[in-house]
Amino acid sequence: MLLLSLVLLSGCSTPQERAARKQAEVEQMMVVYGPACSRLGYTAGSDPWRHCIIQLSTRDELPRYGAYPGYYSAWGPEPWHGGWWGRW
């Protein structure tokens, strides 16, 4: 039991560690997408420039992770026919 507790606690990270990871992620995004946003006419370091970086990053990550179907993804004409709901 003690060993299991140690293993579970070793996977936890402090808020400072999580913040450091997020900061490194943001810095990497700025290195990758910053030049493109600057070429698009945004002033480096401005809020619109940061927004551009986030938009480009999101655009590239969506295909990798797939679109979230949403909470009501099964609602529509097809899921209501057959199965648990039966035929109307």
Q: Give the pLDDT of residue 12.
A: 74
Question: Amino acid identity of 11?
Answer: G
CA nearest 33: which of 20, 21, 49, 19?
Answer: 49
In a domain, 5, yes or no: no
SS3 45: coil
Share of the chain above pLDDT 90, in %: 44
| Number of domains making up the chain | 1
Q: Give the pLDDT of residue 5.
A: 60
In a domain, 42, yes or no: yes
pTM beyond 0.75, yes or no: no
Q: Give the pLDDT of residue 8.
A: 59
In a domain, 75, yes or no: no
Widest pairwise Cα distance in the chain: 59
Q: Domain range for residue 48?
A: 24-64
In a domain, 11, yes or no: no
Paired tokens of 17: 């560690």
* Ordered per-residue pLDDT tens for the chain, 88 residues: 656 665 556 567 788 988 999 999 999 999 999 999 999 999 999 999 999 999 999 998 877 776 665 555 555 555 555 555 555 5
